[in-house]
Amino acid sequence: MRAAEGSPRPTRFQRLSLDIRFWVALAFFVRLIGIANPPLETSHHWRQTSVLMVARNYAEQGLDLLHPRMDTAGELSGITGMEFPLLNALVGLAMMVFGTATWPARLIVLLMGSLGVLRFHALVERRLGRRTGLYAALLLLVSLWFMYSRKVMPDVFALSLVIIGLERFDRALSASRWWIIVSLVGAVCLAAGLLSKISAGCLLAVWPVLAWRQRTEGRTWAMTAFIALATIPAVWWYHGWVPHLVEAYGYWHFFMGKPIAVGAMELLRNWPRTLDNFYFDALRFSGFAVFLLGLFYAMERRAYGIIIAFLLLCASFLVVMLKAGDTFWIHAYYVLPFVPVMALLGGYGLAQLPGRRWATGLLVAVAFEGVAAQANDFRINPTLEPLLELEGDLIDDEGRIAMNTGQVPTAMYFAHRRGWTLTNAELQDAAILARLEHLGCSRVVVFRSTFEGDVTVPWPLLLEKTAYRIHKAPD
């Protein structure tokens, strides 16, 4: 678009500031800081190492997507049910080339998360205009998405695939040619996203709104059928194959949710912390205020399409919350599927403000608060750093080990061993220690304060450090 006669030509920065690709690229390069760090940042190191553990087993033992394997199953094989290991397999392939360095794994998620923001922008811009598309994408970029796009976790990876799939289906609605191919690409992305994280499927609730205007056309019904078919692999995996793996191999690892009534009671009992996931974790306080602004404008201006989409997405996400129960408010990343919804409403609200100065000022405030609150993700937690020495301290032994880390697999991953993750109470049980010795446990690692706290183990002391002790099995 040419500048109006007599008006100043926009500067290069002004042009860049209106291009979402510039901001996505900037955020991408910022998040390369510390990209090679091991997954020992404060938040969710345990979740990242569980992904990396399966990936490393793929790199060392071969790719078998149907039988993912953990190292924390004690004397068992470690094969268990979990999310479909697409991300794990990609990371495993990278490990075959680059070794066990963490940066390729982080980079895979970062690339997918960046592409997800770009496709989110394309979808919103197509439906609601340039300003809303830009503002919504920028809000998503600086939300909780910012941090989790560089973590080795399937959440942003899966959500990005679902967003890409929805954007492709929306594009196919207006495509005059090749709409079937575009739809098939969308279906593949949806299937991969749902397999990788089934909770990402709550975003599919927006499809009736996207398809409503063309609901009588044959292609719309064909695309709806493609979407339905794309859900079948995830239904089979989570409701058929995962229970089979747990039963066949005897090791439970994956959280499949709770009865809805139980989840509802847990959320109500902890309602302040449940709400905290929305007004603090998702977009921080300023971002939540912008989200409320968008909700106000949508109702005040009777934007029925946005309101109906919001209600449908709320209903579908409520199912995720009820199935999660306490797990929802304990782990901030459970709110991630709803963050694009909040960003959409926030972007709409900013676009309704007169002029650009108010919108720009609010965006700057949201970005500053959001990124500043996530700055600790670029640093290694000092209390976890001693784990980097663990494999070297166990190099003289190749047997199975036990450690007092509860259900956290982080230390086992860095030990590069297989074995048992136990509580302090279990390590003080003479019968359990005798059983460990009988099953071939050759070392017990006791962490003084990092996980369960110090505990006395009556096995001979082999090594003592500030962070942990290593005991060997009795002769």
DSSP 71: S
- pLDDT, tens only, 441-452: 999 999 998 888
- Give me the amino acid identity at 164: I
Cβ atoms of residues 317 and 258 within 8 Å: no
CA atoms within 13 A on the CB side of 208: 10
- pLDDT, tens only, 273-301: 999 999 999 999 999 999 999 999 999 99
Q: What's the confidence (pLDDT) of residue 39? A: 96
Position 378 confidence tier, pLDDT thresholds 50, 70, 90: very high
Element spanning 442, H or E: strand 441-447
Count Cβ atoms below 10 Å from residue 10 Cβ, excluding itself.
13
Phi-psi region of 251 (alpha: psi -120 to 50; beta: other; left: phi over 0): beta
- pLDDT, tens only, 346-370: 999 999 999 889 999 999 999 999 9
- pLDDT, tens only, 17-53: 899 999 999 999 999 999 999 999 988 999 999 999 9
Question: How many whole angstroms separate alpha carbon 399 and alpha carbon 378?
Answer: 34
How many Å separate Cα 242 from the centre of its chain? 20
End-to-end CA distance of the chain: 81
Position 2 confidence tier, pLDDT thresholds 50, 70, 90: very low
Cβ atoms of residues 68 and 86 within 8 Å: no
Q: What's the confidence (pLDDT) of residue 3? A: 46
Q: Packing angle between helix 339-352 and helix 304-324, nearest 10 degrees?
A: 150
How many Å separate Cα 73 from the centre of its chain? 24
Long-range contacts of 17-20 (CB under 8 A, 24+ apart): 18/130, 18/134, 20/117, 20/118, 20/121, 20/133, 20/134, 20/137, 20/138
Q: What's the confidence (pLDDT) of residue 4? A: 47
Mean pLDDT of the chain: 95
pLDDT score of 214 more than 50: yes
Q: Packing angle between helix 154-174 and helix 103-128, nearest 10 degrees?
A: 30
Question: How many whole angstroms separate alpha carbon 128 and alpha carbon 206?
Answer: 14
What CA–CA distances, in Å, run from 63 to 6, 146, 319? 64, 30, 33
| Bridge partners, residue 421, by sequence | 403
Cβ atoms of residues 187 and 231 within 8 Å: no
Q: Which residue has the tokens 């690692």?
A: 445
Pairing of strands 461-464, 468-472: antiparallel
Q: What's the confidence (pLDDT) of residue 6? A: 52
Residues in contact with 166: Cβ distance below 8 Å, sequence separation at least 6, in sequence order: 123, 186, 190, 203, 204, 206, 207, 210
Question: How many whole angstroms separate alpha carbon 449 and alpha carbon 278?
Answer: 32
